[in-house]
Amino acid sequence: MASILITGANRGLGLEFTRQYAAEGDRVLATCRDPAGATELAAIAGDVTVHALDVTDLPQISALAESLQGEPIDILVNNAGVLTSGQRMGGIDYAAWEHEFKVNTMGPIAVAQAFLPHLERGTGRRMAFISSILGSIGTNADGAYTMYRSTKAGLNAAVKSLSVEVAAKGIIVLLFHPGWVRTDMGGPEAAIDPATSVGGLRRRIAAAGPEDSGCFISHEGVEIPW
């Protein structure tokens, strides 16, 4: 039985990660901004505990890490993310962009830093960051999504660096594009359902070795250009 901490666990991919790991009998530390309103999360059977966590709230991240001090965590799934609409030239909202950086770039790194001691106590020693192909500079032929793309490209750069820094501790760090998924963010026209995306992501997380650390891959294991 592994211990898994997930951010943004109340809906979308985070909820599906919680469902699948709980169904496997794993212990899930499911975090979300509003536990009282997380009814779907509360309905999941198994060893699931729900914790309040806004990934932009640095004191709250530290307090949660402190309250779980001494607990091993095998897999950290940095999943929470935000995508603001209307991101073309002429429609850039700088306050929203700053917020996206806090949620998509700085938050996941802050969570990883705070829970590094817990990862070191675990045996799984894996961190998964849910990025996006929209963070790939090399494949950007369409423009738009200026704010979101830059926050995910920034996440990729930061996580690559993190992967090098924690390699000596035996921690494997993975960056994922989850596919275009039917969630609130992906919308109803998206290509795949959350179960397919998360099933693939979980297989990649379980199979990863040190040689995979710092790689940017899809839920199907296809490498994505930076």
* Residues identified as active-site: 148
Alpha-carbon distance values, 188 to 12, 154, 179, 182, 193 (Å): 12, 28, 14, 5, 9
Distance CA 120, CA 131 (A): 23
Q: How many residues bind ligand NAP (CB under 6 A)?
A: 29
Beta bridge partners of 192: 181
Q: What is the closest distance, in whole angstroms, from the C-beta atom of residue 176 to ligand NAP in the complex? A: 8
- Angstrom distance (rounded) from CA 207 to CA 197: 16
Which residue's CB is nearer to ligand NAP, number 1 or number 95?
A: 95
Give yes or no for residue 82 binding ligand NAP (CB under 6 A): yes
Region from 64-72, 161-169, 176-184, 212-220 binding ligand NAP, contact rule CB under 6 A: 176-184
How many helices and strands (H and E) does the chain possess?
Answer: 7, 7
H helices of the chain, where? 12-23, 39-42, 58-67, 94-100, 107-121, 146-166, 194-207
Tell me which of 58, 63, 106, 185 binds ligand NAP, using CB under 6 A: 185
Q: Does 84 bind ligand NAP (CB under 6 A)?
A: no
Q: Judged by CB under 6 A, does residue 79 bind ligand NAP?
A: yes
Indicate whether 12 belongs to the interface with ligand NAP (CB under 6 A). yes
- Regarding 184 and contact with ligand NAP (CB under 6 A), the answer is yes
Per CB under 6 A, residues contacting ligand NAP are 7-8, 10-14, 32-34, 54-56, 79-82, 103, 130, 132, 177-178, 180-181, 183-186, 190
